[in-house]
C-alpha cells in the first residue's frame, strides 16, 4: 500500500505571491499512521505534485547519501574524459568543428549535472509568508 491523501484543507492565499495557495494535507502512511504536511502550489494539483516530488527526493537522498563524497567529482571528470576521447576519435570526421564539439560536450555534461542537482531540490518550501 502506498501513502494516501485522506484530507485536504485550504489554509490561505499567499501574501507575497498572489497566485499561490497554502493547503494542509493529511496523509495515511503505509504503516497506518497519519501525517499532516503543509503544501504550497498554484492549485491543489500543483501542491500535491510538490509533496510527491519531495517524497521521491527524500527516498533518493537516502540512497545517494551512502555514496562517498569524493565519488561525484571523479564521475564528473571521467564523463568529461570519455567525451574528450569520443570527440578525439571523431576528429577526422569533424574537421574544423572539433572545438565546437568539445565545448558542446562540456555544456551537455554540465547541463545534465545541473539538472540532476536541481531535481534534488525540495519543491515544497515555505514560499508564502
What three-state secondary structure class fits 107?
helix
What three-state secondary structure class fits 122?
coil
Residue ranges making up the domain that contains 101 = 1-129
C-alpha closest to that of 21 among 31, 29, 30, 11: 11
Split into its structural domains, the chain has a count of 1
Q: What is the rounded distance in angstroms from the CA atom of residue 38 to the CA atom of residue 26?
A: 9
Per-residue pLDDT of 6-27, as tens digits, reads 999 998 888 888 888 999 999 9
> Which strand ranges, in their side-by-side order, compose the sheet holding 4-13?
4-13, 21-28, 34-41
Mean pLDDT score, 16-43: 90
The separation between CA 114 and the C-alpha centre of its own chain, rounded to angstroms, equals 10
The separation between CA 42 and the C-alpha centre of its own chain, rounded to angstroms, equals 19
Per-residue pLDDT of 88-97, as tens digits, reads 999 899 888 9
Query: What one-character-per-residue DSSP string does 5-68 give?
Result: EEEEEEEEE-SSSTT-EEEEEEEE-TTS-EEEEEEEESSHHHHHHHHHHHHHHHHHHHHHTTS-
pTM attached to this predicted model: 0.76
Per-residue pLDDT of 96-108, as tens digits, reads 899 999 999 999 9
Amino acid at each position: 500500500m502506498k501513502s494516501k491523501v485522506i484530507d485536504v484543507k485550504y489554509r490561505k492565499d499567499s501574501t507575497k505571491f498572489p497566485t499561490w495557495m497554502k493547503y494542509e494535507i493529511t496523509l495515511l502512511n503505509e504503516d497506518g499512521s497519519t501525517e499532516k504536511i503543509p503544501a504550497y502550489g498554484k492549485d491543489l494539483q500543483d501542491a500535491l505534485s510538490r509533496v510527491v516530488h519531495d517524497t521521491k527526493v527524500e527516498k533518493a537522498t537516502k540512497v545517494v547519501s551512502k555514496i562517498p563524497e569524493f565519488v561525484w567529482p571523479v564521475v564528473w571528470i571521467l564523463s568529461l574524459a570519455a567525451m574528450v576521447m569520443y570527440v578525439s576519435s571523431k576528429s577526422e570526421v569533424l574537421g574544423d568543428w572539433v572545438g565546437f564539439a568539445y565545448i558542446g560536450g562540456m555544456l551537455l555534461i554540465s547541463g545534465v549535472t545541473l539538472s540532476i542537482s536541481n531535481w534534488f531540490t525540495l519543491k515544497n518550501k515555505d514560499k508564502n509568508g
